[in-house]
Structure 1
Amino acid sequence: MTPADATPPGRTAAESTPWWPAPPTGASPSILTVILDDTGWSDFGCFGSEIRTPTIDALAEGGLRYTNFHVTPMCSPTRACLLTGRNNHKLGMRFIADTDTGFPNSRGRIDPGVPLLPSHLRPSGYGSYQVGKWHLAPGHEVTPAGPFDNWPLHRGFDRFYGFMGGATDQYAPELYEDNHQVQPPRSPDYHLSADLADRAIDYLRDHRTYRPGSPFFLNLALGATHAPFQAPRAYIERYLHPPAGRLRRLPGTRRRPAVDVNAPYNGIPQTIAQELARLNRLGGPQGPAHYPEGWAAVGNTPFRLYKQYTDLGGVRVPLVVHWPRGITDPGGIREQFAHAIDIAPTLLDAAAIPYDEGQFDGRTIAGTFADAAAPAPRNTQHFEMLGHRGHPARRLESCDDPPPRHPLRGRRLASVRHQPGLLRMPRPGRRRAGARRRAVRTLGGTGRGTRCLPPRRPPAQGPALPRHRAGAAQRRAGRAGSRGRPHAGSLPYDGQ
């Protein structure tokens, strides 16, 4: 096939004109995406956490923080959404990739006919590199002999270094390079996170050296925030002794008996004394830890629940975007609704690469980079995981109409819109004077029970309840409204 800008060859060499592709101009931006598992608002310093994350904070200070960004409640479906721009149920990735159920919505891999982001970038001269967690191939295909159809190289990446499953030991990981298994480097201070960072640097160094001027796409997916938790001891030591008075029991909370965190994983019960004796080994090669539900809830503060659930704690996560060329107000905050399916079209838009919008469920949010008032690109998104379900939402233009009735009762969910009173951002964005925000909540089930709750105010007649009595009344009302199907959850948003 003759390129469009090449002269057709003649019958002989003398009658033909040689042609070579034009060298890259360097105008297209290089792209780096960093994915962290099981990470919530309370894990980033720039989102209000006491955990020190200086590099992420610096990126946020020179970029943007999105306070209304969402994912699916599990890792494989979110990765599929991010790399394809499509909803996970349409890709054959309803759940995690370990199992092929035999049904088209859950085959443990992305449908072969759906292109991943590297395939869209390659015609524009991009080199693509996957480093870290993949988790987009069914378990029975992760063998030394393949098949390799769902491995990174076959799905469009030029190089791969990392692990294929959902988790691996941080000190003795099961690693793969390209299409073959490799041993981790032998070093007394080895840790997987540092190894992945070093390999990412190596790939980019080679790219810059041998493909000068051409852009790259690097997807770095660390395993450190996913079980097993094995942080280097130096990081653990920073948080072993919190300042006096910082840890205290909240008023009204009750003491609970200690929990055996070992037995659920290996069937071997341990006493509290045995568990305490192992405490100092946590985080090291002999002491990996899983994620207790309590700490999972803390990490997703101020939202409810955690991964697997379609409640906000399972689907709303921090997003930091850093692009000096395209962001006009560094350090700004964006409140537009966005989802992992919006990332791929956003990156293509930012790179000025033409694409067919019909191939994506997501839409670009690049317009928000320079305009804090830009509208959200979509007003419909569904959420479902293991029967915890959401629904296509309609845009709510007004809260004056009475909500439709719904036969099912379920737990009420917090608003998908950013609630300024829930968490003080380090540098909150400005709000119009006197503006009142209304929280949009729903009843569980198929999502037909949308309710609009106005700002809380004292009753029109009679004195307001004392604070402690009002809180008790609200808790009783919450318990009454949450009885019913425990896993029915609807999560609409209003497109704002």
Structure 2
Amino acid sequence: MSRNWPGKIGRTWESSEPWLEPIRRPAKGAPNVLMIVLDDVGFAHFGCYGSTIATPNIDRLAAGGRRYTNFHTTAMCSPTRASLLTGCNHHAVGMGIIADMCTGYPGYLGEMSESAATLPQMLVPAGYSAFAIGKWHLTRARDMSPAGPFGHWPLGRGFERYYGFLYSLVDQWHPELVCDNRFIDTPADPGYHLSEDLVDQTIGMIGSARAADPERPFFAYLAFGACHSPHQAPDSYIDAYRGAFDEGWDAVRAHWFQRQIEMGIVPEGTALTARSEGVPPWETLTPEEKRLAIRHQEVFAGFLTHTDAQIGRLTGWLERRGMLDDTMILLLSDNGAEGGGDAHGTINLRRAFQGPEESLEEKLAATATLGTAEHWNNYPRGWAHAGNTPHKWYKTHTHNGGIRDPLIVHWPARIRDGGGISRQFCHCSDLAPTILEAAGVTPPATINGRDAMPITGTSIAYTFDAPDAPTRKQSQYFELMGNRGIWANGWKAVVHHETGADYDSEQWELYRLDSDFSENDDLAARHPEKLAELKALWEREAEANHVFPLDDRYAGRLAKTYHLPPRRRWDLGEGRLYASGYSAPSVGNRSYRFDIEVDLEPRASGAVFAAGGKPGGYVLHIDGGRLVHEYVGPRHRTVIESEVVLPAGRHALTLDFRKTGDCKGELTLLCDGDVVAAGSIADMWPVSPMGGGFTLGYDNASPVSDRYAMPARLTGRILSAAVACGDDFLFDPEAEARIAYGED
């Protein structure tokens, strides 16, 4: 009991005075807050920002609220999300790059600094409920395991409930999900789609909290997986766009640009920037290539419209419950449209990361099934260029194509001139202080037992009452993978960095954004003194916010995150088990052996163990009593199957793989010491064969095999399971060892 407890303890209750801490409530008029974050949606993608993609529910929020045309992000997901939730710059809180690429420097920790208070850590003590639903991606990869540690999972950073996925991207049909602090099985409902589930969960969390305490406002952070690749949506939404994009990306981009000017989203006199590097002119594509590209865009458009429908379900529910007017909704994208789909798109993102490169013939063969569970697809970068109209470049770039994004604020109780457009410069770090001002909450002086990092964002609440007020923000720096930029009082200096290039000799560009909305007219040669002034300002801001050291590596930084300390054995125990992709047996491109003791029912079936899914993985399962191993490689599926039907009872099963060369080897299946099947695997993943987690006794998420129905529970029991791996997986043993021990 605290010495400062204000009650009184007597010998009996009659002579005592009780005291309970009063229920905390925010200031009168404090709104509910719903922050909706979309992924990889470009400046032009919403209908109310110029596109011909149907987003009627988002457009309705814009018509009743405010559109911002000068809102900026960090150019990538984890950094933007860290900035949104703390009100600070992304490097300052340790998230200068995605969480998967942490390198151990103060600006690149792969998790938000514990000195930075998050919105739920500030709002809950003031009397709010706080829920996070959907994408997190603010936890180091090595901590995304059932063992934690959980301090940087959503509940560890202040949220009271969580339902969603921790990773950067997710299979919309078969997501690997977390509820609060535990991994859960993927729902197996017919027609399941993640976006629908996330809205159901949001409604459930808000509804339950309001039923229990209708006076307590909520902060709900809803982060869709949409529209990050893989682009996946119900057929009806995709098919609704047949023929809508037959003119190609050049014509669509020009059309959307004209719509933007007519709507007032883009000022009169703005120039449409030239085609970005790597985007082929539409007329140079063959008829087959055009059909493929068109279908990719139809899938993306269907994905976005399907997401819009789920937003409509949520806002409709809020309206029916009488909460919409008193809820401040902030709807935004975390960065510009993503241009990683090359000239013809991608059908399996895992191959984009690990190789081998997809052939055009493979891409064309997948045209009819894009958007289904068969593919992890991403559209050609020409469509991303159209999504960022009128800007150039894409996600990860500090030109406007990467950092200028849509923002809609809807709050009828405060914003009364519905449909207006605000043109003030603002940044993702500005939204947290906006929410705190609206809620009447003062940021804490301390957090987690240490001095709290001061919020550096500038509230945009002033724009709610004065849409034409001058911009209050004075400057904002940008940096992402060596791309750099600085905005100050209407001027912007920016440099597009080529990997490996000398930072000091690169040519910066200079734009007067007040009169050049799209960054089309480079003034660097005409105003060298202004450019020098801004470059010097960038250096000061970079130093103050822990931007250094500059780092343009991609694979090198991933290796540091994903390459766990060397481990040769896993004792998996008995019964059913789940391990995330980062805590599963590491069997990529090396020799390994599984020893599993089972007790089978007659004519047993189901998965003994499984890892990954349709994009890549492996499974040992029993089909009609026969032992079957399937390996889904970059190009082919290899099946090795026994002729022997396993009798009921206890058996010792062994899978022994001996590597014979890079990405190939010989596999043997044994039952009770006898060989029952053997064969070669020549199409293997160079690093990890997994596109998801590892399961023992069942299969979860995306099915590795089409020969069983999910969740493919083994009709029998796992009595023991162990894995032993060889040390022959290293391409360069010395270099890999240095990485593993953090010496490189």
Give the structure 2 partner of residue 76 of structure 1: 78
- Is structure 2 residue 379 aligned with structure 1 residue 379? no
- Is structure 2 residue 132 aligned with structure 1 residue 133? no
Q: Tell me the SS of whatever aligns to 1:154.
A: helix
Please give the TM-score of this superposition, normalised by the length of structure 2. 0.53
Question: Of 440, 444, 461, which aligns to 1:366?
Answer: 461
Question: Of 422, 428, 436, which aligns to 1:340?
Answer: 428
Cα pair distance change 1:311/1:203, threshold 3 Å: same
- Is structure 2 residue 124 aligned with structure 1 residue 29? no
Q: Distance in 2 between matches of 1:247 and 1:105?
A: 38
Aligned-pair CA distance for 1:180: 0.5
Give the structure 1 partner of residue 509 of structure 2: 412
Q: Distance in 1 between matches of 2:375 and 2:389?
A: 26
Give the structure 1 partner of residue 363 of structure 2: 275
Cα pair distance change 1:52/1:445, threshold 3 Å: farther
Cα pair distance change 1:10/1:86, threshold 3 Å: same
Aligned-pair CA distance for 1:374: 2.1
Aligned-pair CA distance for 1:391: 3.3
Cα pair distance change 1:442/1:450, threshold 3 Å: farther
Aligned-pair CA distance for 1:363: 1.2
Give the structure 2 partner of residue 318 of structure 1: 406
In structure 2, give the amino acid aligned to 1:193. Answer: S
Once the two structures are superposed, the pairs formed by residues 439-478 of structure 1 within 5 Å of their partners are 448-449=531-532
Q: Distance in 2 between matches of 1:7 and 1:284?
A: 62
- Is structure 2 residue 14 aligned with structure 1 residue 14? yes
- Is structure 2 residue 243 aligned with structure 1 residue 241? yes
Aligned-pair CA distance for 1:19: 4.0
Aligned-pair CA distance for 1:49: 1.0
Cα pair distance change 1:315/1:141, threshold 3 Å: same
The answer to whether the Cα contact below 8 Å between 2:162 and 2:179 also exists between their aligned partners in 1 is yes
Identity, in percent, stands at 40
Q: Distance in 1 between matches of 2:100 and 2:357?
A: 28
Query: Greater shift after overlay, 273-282 or 319-328?
Result: 273-282
The answer to whether the Cα contact below 8 Å between 1:97 and 1:135 also exists between their aligned partners in 2 is yes
Question: Of 387, 391, 400, which aligns to 1:303?
Answer: 391
Cα pair distance change 1:255/1:372, threshold 3 Å: same
The answer to whether the Cα contact below 8 Å between 1:68 and 1:416 also exists between their aligned partners in 2 is no
Q: Distance in 2 between matches of 1:227 and 1:133?
A: 13
- Is structure 2 residue 207 aligned with structure 1 residue 208? no
Aligned-pair CA distance for 1:272: 3.9
Question: Of 281, 284, 292, which aligns to 1:255?
Answer: 284
Give the structure 2 partner of residue 389 of structure 1: 484
Aligned-pair CA distance for 1:412: 3.4
Cα pair distance change 1:248/1:28, threshold 3 Å: closer
CA deviation profile, 1:258-310 (whole Å, cap 9, x unmatched): 65645645534555444223111100100221243222211111111110100
Q: Distance in 2 between matches of 1:270 and 1:290?
A: 13
Q: Tell me the SS of whatever aligns to 1:382.
A: strand
Q: Distance in 2 between matches of 1:32 and 1:237?
A: 31
Query: Greater shift after overlay, 371-380 or 120-129?
Result: 371-380
Query: Greater shift after overlay, 305-314 or 272-281?
Result: 272-281
In structure 1, give the amino acid aligned to 2:14. Answer: A
CA deviation profile, 1:186-220 (whole Å, cap 9, x unmatched): 11100010011111111111111112210110000
Question: Of 50, 61, 68, which aligns to 1:66?
Answer: 68
Cα pair distance change 1:393/1:171, threshold 3 Å: same
Aligned-pair CA distance for 1:390: 1.6
Give the structure 1 partner of residue 232 of structure 2: 230
Question: Of 128, 140, 145, which aligns to 1:143?
Answer: 145
In structure 2, give the amino acid aligned to 1:179. Answer: N
Q: Distance in 1 between matches of 2:3 and 2:207?
A: 31
Q: Tell me the SS of whatever aligns to 1:381.
A: strand
Once the two structures are superposed, the pairs formed by residues 63-212 of structure 1 within 5 Å of their partners are 63-212=65-214
Aligned-pair CA distance for 1:416: 4.0
Q: Tell me the SS of whatever aligns to 1:336.
A: coil
Q: Distance in 1 between matches of 2:45 and 2:8?
A: 60
In structure 2, give the amino acid aligned to 1:167. Answer: L
The answer to whether the Cα contact below 8 Å between 2:24 and 2:126 also exists between their aligned partners in 1 is no
CA deviation profile, 1:22-50 (whole Å, cap 9, x unmatched): 57487421100000111112210111110
Q: Distance in 2 between matches of 1:329 and 1:71?
A: 26
Question: Of 35, 39, 42, which aligns to 2:41?
Answer: 39
Query: Greater shift after overlay, 327-336 or 270-279?
Result: 270-279
Q: Tell me the SS of whatever aligns to 1:228.
A: coil
Cα pair distance change 1:125/1:114, threshold 3 Å: same
Cα pair distance change 1:141/1:269, threshold 3 Å: closer
Query: Greater shift after overlay, 307-316 or 365-374?
Result: 365-374
In structure 1, give the amino acid aligned to 2:162. Answer: F
For structure 2, the 5+ residue unaligned runs are 255-273, 276-280, 290-342, 446-452, 492-503, 535-551, 553-744
- Is structure 2 residue 412 aligned with structure 1 residue 289? no
CA deviation profile, 1:130-157 (whole Å, cap 9, x unmatched): 0000000000000001011110001100
The answer to whether the Cα contact below 8 Å between 2:510 and 2:531 also exists between their aligned partners in 1 is no
Cα pair distance change 1:409/1:175, threshold 3 Å: closer
CA deviation profile, 1:238-263 (whole Å, cap 9, x unmatched): 21212887887689956257656456
- Could you say which structure has the larger radius of gyration? 2
Q: Tell me the SS of whatever aligns to 2:364.
A: helix
In structure 1, give the amino acid aligned to 2:466. Answer: D
Cα pair distance change 1:284/1:447, threshold 3 Å: farther
Q: Distance in 2 between matches of 1:368 and 1:335?
A: 9
Give the structure 2 partner of residue 427 of structure 1: none
Q: Tell me the SS of whatever aligns to 1:79.
A: helix
Q: Tell me the SS of whatever aligns to 2:100.
A: coil
The answer to whether the Cα contact below 8 Å between 1:67 and 1:418 also exists between their aligned partners in 2 is no
Q: Distance in 2 between matches of 1:135 and 1:123?
A: 25
Query: Greater shift after overlay, 354-363 or 337-346?
Result: 354-363
Q: Distance in 2 between matches of 1:278 and 1:260?
A: 12
CA RMSD of aligned residues (A): 3.3
CA deviation profile, 1:93-143 (whole Å, cap 9, x unmatched): 110001331212111101122110001101221010000000000000000
In structure 2, give the amino acid aligned to 1:14. Answer: E
Aligned-pair CA distance for 1:418: 7.6
Q: Distance in 1 between matches of 2:379 and 2:107?
A: 28
Cα pair distance change 1:244/1:280, threshold 3 Å: closer
Cα pair distance change 1:365/1:271, threshold 3 Å: closer
- Is structure 2 residue 51 aligned with structure 1 residue 49? yes
Aligned-pair CA distance for 1:379: 0.8
Aligned-pair CA distance for 1:174: 0.9
For structure 1, the 5+ residue unaligned runs are 397-406, 424-437, 452-486, 488-496
In structure 2, give the amino acid aligned to 1:118. Answer: P
The answer to whether the Cα contact below 8 Å between 1:312 and 1:414 also exists between their aligned partners in 2 is no
Please give the TM-score of this superposition, normalised by the length of structure 1. 0.78
Q: Tell me the SS of whatever aligns to 1:65.
A: strand
